[in-house]
Amino acid sequence: MKKGVVLVTGASGGQQGRTGRRVSEILLARGVPVRAFVHRLDERSDQLSALGAEIVEGDFLDYHSVERAVQGVSAVYFAYPVQAGLLEATAIMADAARKAGVTRLIDMVMLVSSPDAPTPRMRENYLSEQVFEWAGIGAAHVRATVFYENVRALTAATIARDGSVLLPWGSDSTVIPLVAAEDVARVAAGLLTSPSVPSGSSYPVIGEVLALRDIVATFERVLARDVRYREIPDQAWRDGALSQGYNEHAVEHLSKLWQSIRTQTRRYEVTDTIGKLGGREPITFEAFVSRNTPRSG
Ligand SMILES: NC(=O)c1ccc[n+]([C@@H]2O[C@H](COP(=O)([O-])OP(=O)(O)OC[C@H]3O[C@@H](n4cnc5c(N)ncnc54)[C@H](OP(=O)(O)O)[C@@H]3O)[C@@H](O)[C@H]2O)c1
């Protein structure tokens, strides 16, 4: 197992998968020293401190706070939220980590990462991967598909209101690769503690591949109520997401992602990375919904 302090960014956990929080908890439970990089001190950082993490407050976009945070660490978990600023945050972390002698950086990106990827955020992810690799800091990439948490966030309010799923996802035969953020965090923790990880390597993470009709049927089964999918136009979805507080960067990314998902021809398969690096078989969507969605109606 790799020794030394691990700097975990996004450690408080936010609105998406809370992967930084989960990585911190997994590492601490394994006796790995964690320096938790938090955006602000609050009850979440108090909880991390109680679990044994060293807390450092900072901002991805503030060079000197990142520079201080990487001093003396051997590895970094980098997960920049889906908001504007990824490339600046990448350059800051790459420079600070290189100067501090970091030898491993595991970064969280999306499943598709290439110059021709369908969303602007995925194309930024590709550039971010390149910058980390040039920095010579042992960068490797966890490429995760859509989190179950994201599907829950997108559907919870309308299912609770009237049992509807309102999304621009095409027909109910549209196929979507999904994963539990908990499994993604287990893969990242496995890479952070592995004896060796090839620089520039990447790890796709898919926990289950479901048609939209299977997602709806899962909600019906677990919640024991009727649930119906209704396709809505892209613009209606965008307007709704913005009014719910999603930032413009996330809405642009997700809108392009939905367009690509409903027109894709690619076949997806569950990856072996969760079993091999995360130490157990993937959590199913049904198990996730059973554990996490309050029953109503
Ligand atoms: N959601 C998906 O379906 C999905 C799928 C594949 C990959 N991903 C990738 O997963 C990553 C998101 O990770 P996550 O789910 O762990 O995110 P998350 O739960 O939203 O947590 C984001 C964390 O970042 C912190 N943060 C926000 N702005 C910051 C700043 N300027 N400086 C320092 N910290 C800041 C937040 O702190 P505060 O809450 O205190 O602001 C929070 O702790 C993204 O890179 C995304 O591309 C997501």
For residue 39 and ligand 1, the question of a CB distance below 6 A is answered with yes
* Cα→Cα distances 151→85, 159, 233, 289, Å: 24, 12, 18, 10
Tens digits of residue pLDDT in 256-284: 999 999 998 889 999 999 999 999 999 99
Given the CA of residue 121, which atom of ligand 1 is nearest to it? 47
Given the CA of residue 181, which atom of ligand 1 is nearest to it? 15
Pairing of strands 139-144, 75-78: unpaired
Predicted confidence band at 292 (pLDDT cuts at 50, 70, 90)? confident
Q: Find the 43 Cα to ligand 1 centroid distance in Å.
A: 17
Given the CA of residue 107, which atom of ligand 1 is nearest to it? 45
Given the CA of residue 59, which atom of ligand 1 is nearest to it? 32
Q: Find the 221 Cα to ligand 1 centroid distance in Å.
A: 31
Query: What is the pTM for the complete model shown?
Result: 0.97
Tens digits of residue pLDDT in 144-168: 999 999 999 999 999 999 999 999 9
Closest by Cα among 111, 124, 119, 110 to 258? 119
Q: Find the 135 Cα to ligand 1 centroid distance in Å.
A: 23
The end-to-end CA distance of the chain, in Å, is: 48
For residue 78 and ligand 1, the question of a CB distance below 6 A is answered with no
